[in-house]
Structure 1
Amino acid sequence: MADSNKLTKLIHTTFNIYGLKITRKLSVVVAKHLQNNTDLNPEIWLTKIIEQILGQNLPGANVDLDNIKLALKECFKPESTLKETESVLNVIDIFTVPKVVYDTNKKKYTIQRMDNNLFSEAVDKSFVFKERLDLLWYRTQRHASFAPAKFGKTESNKLQLVPIEFLLSQAKTKDVCIMGLLSQITEGQYYLEDYTGSIKIDLKDAFFSSSLIMEGSIVLAKGRYVEGILQVDNIDFPPPDSVENSRVNFGDSNTFGGSHPTSLKLSEKLKAYEEANKDNFIIVISEFWVDSEIVLSKFKVLLSGFSESPPTAIVLCGHFLSFSMTVTSVKKLKEGFKRLAAIIAEFPVIQKNTSLILVPGPYDLSAPNILPRAPLPKYVLEDLLKILPNTYLATNPCRLQYCTKEIVIFRENMLSKLCRNTLHYPKKEEDEASENRGEKIYEAFAKSIIRQSHLTPLLFSMIPVYWKHDQALHLYPTPDLIIVADDFQPYATSYANCKVINPGPFSKSNFAFKCYNPADNIVEDCEIPADDG
C-alpha cells in the first residue's frame, strides 16, 4: 500500500512539473497500470505517457480519462505502428480545415476551428479581405527586407511598411511603401485600401515587378505621395514564404486539417514509412469524361500499364461529362461510373491497393458554382462505391496528406481568369537560351497564388466564395504541392520550394497525366501513346 501511495504521489507531482493537472482518481488509474506491468520502469514510462498527452494539444491544463486512455494505448503500441490518427493517405474535407489568423493582441498567428455552416452574416464579408491583408501584412513584416535592424546596427536597404493613415497625415511623402487591397472604388480609378483608410494611386509610370497583378490582389506599392495621390514607381506582390519558413510560426500545430492533433509533417513514423516506400506514387488526371468511349479505353490502357505496380492513389478531376449539364446528365453519370467500375474490376491488384479520389469541376452535378464546392452526390456513384469502397468523394478544392507531404487539389480554370483580370502581362517569351527571356505565363501564375497565399486572389464578382469559408482557399503555411487542374496545357513548375502542376485536360492533350512521387518530391509528365488502345 505504501508503494502504491508513493507511485500515485510521483504521478501527481510529475504531471504538475509538466504543467498538467490530474485528479487523484486518475493518478490511481495510471499507478495501477504501471504496477500491473512490473517489467516497466515507472519513471521512464510516466514520461512517455505525459509526452503522449502533451501531443494531444489539450485546450487547457486539466487531463481527463479519455486523454489517459489514448496515451496508454499509444505508448504500448510497437514503435513502427502508426497512431490511429496517423493515416498514410488522408483526404481532408475542405470545409473542416482550420483558419489561420493573426492575433494582434498576442502578436502571433493563431488557429481557429470552423463549423460547416454556409450561411454568413454581412460582417463576415468585410472580414474576408481584412484577414487576407492581416496574414500577408504580418508575414511581410517578418521578411528580411522589412524586419527591423538588429540593435546597434544601421541598414540603409531596409524598407519600412506603413499603413495608409500614415500617408494621409502627410508625415512622409517620398519613398513610401504601402500594402493594401487593389480596387476600383470609382470606375477607371485604382485605389489601395487597408483597415486605416484608402488612397488613390497612379499606375501610369509604375514598374510591375510581378506579372499577374489583379484587382482584388494584396500588393506592395512604392512611390511618392503628391497632392493626395500616390505616384507609384514600383508595384509588386508581398514577398513569398517558403514551405520550410512558413511552418516556423506554428510549431507542431496542425494547420493543414485532418483528425491528427499535431502536424503530420513532423511525424517520424510517417517519415520512415515514406522513405521505406520510395516507389509509391500518385496519378493525377483532369477532365475525365466518363461518357466518352475513347477516354475510358485510354484509362484502361493506363491501368494495364500499372497493373503490377499499382499507384497509391488516382486523382480524377472533373468535368466528368463531355457536355454541359442537361436533364440526361444524372443518367449519363451513373452509366459512366458503372462502366468505370467494371474497368477497374478487371485489375484486382489496383482494385485492392489503390484509392480513387474524385474532385468535381465547376459545372459538375454537385452544388452552386460557389467555392468551396461540395463533393459529387453518392447516388450517381453507387456502382463504383460497391466495386471500389476506398473511393473518396472530395470537395473542390480538397487537401490530400500523404505521409509528411501536404497537397492541395483545385479544379478550376484559374489561369485564364487571372489573365483576363490582370493589369500587366508577362513579357513575350524569347529564345529559351536567352538569359533575358520573359517569364512563362504558368510561372507567373504559380508566383501569384503562392505570394498571395490564396488560390483565388480576385474579387467576389469574378469568382464567388462562401464568406465564412474563405480560409479553405488559403495557402498558408505553403503546402508541398499545389495541383490546379486547368484547361490550360500541361505544365509543372516550382516556386518558393512549392511545386505547382497542371495535368491538362485528358482528352484534349494527347491523354496526358501527371505522376507524383512523394518520397522524392518529383513530378513526371506522362501520356498514353496514340497507337495504344
Structure 2
Amino acid sequence: MSVRVKSSVISCFKMHGLSLRSDATKYLSEILSTLNEREQEDWLERIVETVRKQPLTSALLKKDLIEAAVEECKQGDDDENDNVFNIISSFSLPRFTFNQEQKKFLRDSKPVNLHGNADVKTALFLDRYTLLHQRTSRHNLFTPPVQGSTLDSKTTKFQLKSVEFLLGSTAKIGELIVLGMLTQIKEGKYFLEDPTGAVELDLSKAQFHKGFFTENSFVLAEGWYEDEVFHVNGLGFPPPEPADVSRSFFGSLNFFGGPLPTCAKSSAKLAALEESNQDAMFVLLSDIWLDQVRVREKLATLFLGYSEMPPTCFIFCGNFSSAPYGHNHIKTLQESFKLLADMICEHPYLAENSKFVFVPGPQDPGPASILPRPPIPACITDYITQRVPSAVFTTNPCRIQYCSQEIVVFREDIIMKMCRNSIKFPDSRTEIPKNFMKSVVCQAHLSPLPLHVSPVYWSYDNALRIYPLPDLIVFGDKYDPYTVTTAGCIGTNTGSFSKNSYSFKVYYPSNKTVEDSQIED
C-alpha cells in the first residue's frame, strides 16, 4: 500500500469533513493503488459523493459503508456502456445550490412544487447571483495577488464590491466594480440590485460592452458613487468560464443530469466510444410544418438521402403546424404525425438505427407559454411512438448526453425578445448572433429576460441554466441561421426549415463542427 495513496485518501475525505477508520483507509488505499494518478482522483471524488448521499450518523466512516460506496460506483461504471445516448427531461434535472461557507455546490433534495411560493421566486434570482458571483470572483481579474509574487506591469487586479458597501459610504468613492442585477424599481430609473440592497444608476455616460443588456440580467458595473447614485462609466457581463475550468473546481459532479452518477466528461470509456464512432452525426431542424404537403415532400427527400447512412439522431423542433392553435389543431397534428410515421417506416434501416427527438414549439399544444414546456401530449403522438419505437417526445428545453458530449436543445424565438427588451441595441445587425451568444454564455442562462417577457416556472429555473457550459447549444429560433462559438461552447441556430428554403444543420461530434445543409428544388 503506497503511503502517497493513503495520504490522498485521508486528505480527500478530510476536505469534506469526513474521516475513515483504519480498516476502511487500508481497504480503499489497496483498491486505488492499482490505478494511475488521474483515475485515483476520479474514483475518490465519486466515492466521496456517493458516501455523502447516504444518511450518515457520524463523520467517522466504517469499512462496510466504504465497501458499499465502491460497489455502487463500480455498478455505475459498468452501466456506462448502456448510457451512450440519453435524452434528459427538464423536469428530471438535479438541483444544485452554491454553499458560500463550503465553497462548493450541494445537491438540493427537497420536494419541488410546480407552482412555488414567493420564497421560490426569491431563491431563483439569489441562485443565479451566487452562481455568477462565485464564477466571477475566481476570475484572474478579481483574484487577489499572492503574497510575495510579482505582478506583470500590464496586469490589473480589481476587487468586487457589494451594493451595501456603496450605501454605507458618505463620501465620494471612485473606481468601483459591482456585480448585480439590472432592475427598474421606479419606472424609468434603473437600479443595480444584489442580496445586500439596491442602488440607483446613472447610465447617461456608460460605455456598453457587447451583449444584450435587459432587465433581470446580471452585470458588472464600473464607475463612481456619490449622493446615493452610482454613476456608471462601463457596463459589461460577468466573464464567461470554459467548462473544463468549471470542472477543475468541482470535480466530476454531474450538473447536466441523466442516469450517470458522475459527469460524462470524466468517463474514459465514453470518451473512447465517442472517438471510435467517427461517423456520428446529428441532424437539426426547426419549424417543421407537417400540415404542409411541400414540407412533407422535403422530409421524404431528407429521409431518402440518409436511408443508407442513418444519423445518430434527428432533432425535430416545433412548431409542427403552420396554423395557430385552433379547434382543428389537435386533429391536424394527429394526422400529420401519422403521415410522418409512415414516411419514416418506409426506410426500415433508418428507423432502426436513428433516434427521432421531438421538441415542442411555442404554438404546439401545451398548458401555457411558460418554460420549461412539457412534451406534446401522448394522445397526439401515440401512433408515431408505436410505429417508430425510437421516437421520443421530450420537453423544451431538453438535454442530450451523447458519450462524453453534452447538448442542450432550446426551441424559442428568443432573439427578437432580446432585441426588443435590450437597453442598448447592437451597433450592427450582423453582430446580433455574437451579442446574443455572449449574453447567454455570460449569464449562464438560456433566457436571461424579465419573467413577464419570458415566463419561467420558478421551481424549475435550473432547467434553463447552463453551468458548466455544454459542448453544443441548439437554438430553434426563426431568426436567420448562424453558428457562433463562445468560451468553447458552440451555439447554432437552425432557422426555420419551412420558411428558410428547407435549410437545416448537421452536427458532427467527432470534430465538433456544424455544417449548413439544404434540400434544394
Tell me the TM-score range normalised by the shorter chain. Answer: 0.7 to 0.9
Deviation of 1:56 (Å) = 7.3
**Equivalent residue letter for 2:350:** I
Contact map agreement 2:441 2:469 (CA 8 A) in 1: yes
Establish whether residue 318 from structure 1 lines up as the match of residue 311 from structure 2: no
Quote the residue 2:451 is aligned against: 460
Following the alignment from structure 1 to structure 2, what is the Cα–Cα distance between the partners of residues 420 and 221? 22
Establish whether residue 488 from structure 1 lines up as the match of residue 473 from structure 2: no
1:90-145 deviation digits (Å, cap 9, x = unpaired): 00011121223221121223333465530212211111111111111111000000
Contact map agreement 1:341 1:388 (CA 8 A) in 2: yes
Establish whether residue 509 from structure 1 lines up as the match of residue 509 from structure 2: no
Deviation of 1:201 (Å) = 0.5
**Equivalent residue letter for 2:451:** F
Contact map agreement 2:81 2:269 (CA 8 A) in 1: no
Quote the residue 2:100 is aligned against: 104
Q: Is the alpha carbon distance of 1:363 and 1:113 closer, same or farther for their aligned partners in structure 2, counting shifts above 3 Å?
A: farther
Of residues 409, 427, 450, the one that matches 2:441 is 450
Following the alignment from structure 2 to structure 1, what is the Cα–Cα distance between the partners of residues 331 and 504? 27
Quote the residue 2:47 is aligned against: 54
Q: How does 1:268-287 map to 2 (within 5 A)?
A: 268-287=268-287
Quote the residue 2:65 is aligned against: 63
Quote the residue 1:297 is aligned against: 297
Establish whether residue 358 from structure 1 lines up as the match of residue 349 from structure 2: no
Q: How does 1:49-448 map to 2 (within 5 A)?
A: 54=47, 57-58=50-51, 59-60=53-54, 61=61, 63=65, 83=79, 86-113=82-109, 115=111, 117-153=113-149, 155=151, 157-170=156-169, 173-428=173-428, 440-448=431-439
* Contiguous gaps of at least 5 residues in structure 1: 1-11, 21-40, 76-81, 430-438
SS of 1:269's equivalent in the other structure is helix
Rg larger in structure? 1
Following the alignment from structure 2 to structure 1, what is the Cα–Cα distance between the partners of residues 28 and 71? 19
Deviation of 1:74 (Å) = 7.1
1:170-220 deviation digits (Å, cap 9, x = unpaired): 176101111111011000000000111110001011000123111110001
Q: Which moved more, 1:196-205 or 1:97-106?
A: 97-106
Q: Is the alpha carbon distance of 1:184 and 1:369 closer, same or farther for their aligned partners in structure 2, counting shifts above 3 Å?
A: same
Following the alignment from structure 1 to structure 2, what is the Cα–Cα distance between the partners of residues 90 and 193? 39
Following the alignment from structure 2 to structure 1, what is the Cα–Cα distance between the partners of residues 180 and 314? 40
Deviation of 1:57 (Å) = 2.0
Following the alignment from structure 2 to structure 1, what is the Cα–Cα distance between the partners of residues 158 and 74? 52
Following the alignment from structure 2 to structure 1, what is the Cα–Cα distance between the partners of residues 312 and 166? 55
SS of 1:136's equivalent in the other structure is helix
Quote the residue 1:15 is aligned against: 24
Following the alignment from structure 1 to structure 2, what is the Cα–Cα distance between the partners of residues 252 and 72? 15
Contact map agreement 2:84 2:402 (CA 8 A) in 1: yes
Following the alignment from structure 2 to structure 1, what is the Cα–Cα distance between the partners of residues 506 and 349? 19
Deviation of 1:15 (Å) = 3.5
Deviation of 1:243 (Å) = 2.2
SS of 2:287's equivalent in the other structure is coil
1:298-339 deviation digits (Å, cap 9, x = unpaired): 011011111111001100001111111111111111100000
Following the alignment from structure 1 to structure 2, what is the Cα–Cα distance between the partners of residues 212 and 277? 39
Q: Is the alpha carbon distance of 1:157 and 1:307 closer, same or farther for their aligned partners in structure 2, counting shifts above 3 Å?
A: same
Deviation of 1:53 (Å) = 8.0
SS of 2:450's equivalent in the other structure is coil
Contact map agreement 1:206 1:235 (CA 8 A) in 2: yes
Contact map agreement 1:55 1:261 (CA 8 A) in 2: no
Following the alignment from structure 2 to structure 1, what is the Cα–Cα distance between the partners of residues 85 and 283? 14
1:42-81 deviation digits (Å, cap 9, x = unpaired): x969x99x97982872324563997676567678xxxxxx
Contact map agreement 1:95 1:115 (CA 8 A) in 2: no
SS of 1:449's equivalent in the other structure is helix
* Contiguous gaps of at least 5 residues in structure 2: 1-20, 55-60
TM-score by structure 1 length? 0.85
TM-score by structure 2 length? 0.87
* Identity score, percent: 37
Q: Is the alpha carbon distance of 1:68 and 1:477 closer, same or farther for their aligned partners in structure 2, counting shifts above 3 Å?
A: closer
Tell me the matched-pair count.
482
Contact map agreement 2:254 2:262 (CA 8 A) in 1: yes
Q: Give the root-mean-square deviation of aligned CA atoms.
A: 2.6
Of residues 502, 513, 516, the one that matches 1:522 is 513
Q: Which moved more, 1:450-459 or 1:66-75?
A: 66-75
Contact map agreement 2:45 2:251 (CA 8 A) in 1: no
1:320-361 deviation digits (Å, cap 9, x = unpaired): 111111111111111000000000001111110001101001
**Equivalent residue letter for 1:444:** N
Contact map agreement 1:86 1:260 (CA 8 A) in 2: no
Following the alignment from structure 1 to structure 2, what is the Cα–Cα distance between the partners of residues 53 and 491? 38
Contact map agreement 1:400 1:408 (CA 8 A) in 2: yes
Q: Is the alpha carbon distance of 1:116 and 1:125 closer, same or farther for their aligned partners in structure 2, counting shifts above 3 Å?
A: closer
Contact map agreement 1:481 1:500 (CA 8 A) in 2: yes
SS of 2:79's equivalent in the other structure is coil
Following the alignment from structure 1 to structure 2, what is the Cα–Cα distance between the partners of residues 74 and 470? 28
SS of 2:291's equivalent in the other structure is coil
Q: Which moved more, 1:221-230 or 1:445-454?
A: 221-230
Contact map agreement 1:167 1:225 (CA 8 A) in 2: yes
Stretches of 4+ moved more than 4 A in 1? Answer: 50-53, 64-75, 113-116
**Equivalent residue letter for 1:501:** T
Following the alignment from structure 1 to structure 2, what is the Cα–Cα distance between the partners of residues 56 and 141? 25
Q: Which moved more, 1:96-105 or 1:281-290?
A: 96-105
Q: Is the alpha carbon distance of 1:83 and 1:497 closer, same or farther for their aligned partners in structure 2, counting shifts above 3 Å?
A: same
Following the alignment from structure 1 to structure 2, what is the Cα–Cα distance between the partners of residues 173 and 256? 42
Quote the residue 1:497 is aligned against: 488
Q: How does 1:463-482 map to 2 (within 5 A)?
A: 463-482=454-473
Q: Is the alpha carbon distance of 1:154 and 1:187 closer, same or farther for their aligned partners in structure 2, counting shifts above 3 Å?
A: farther
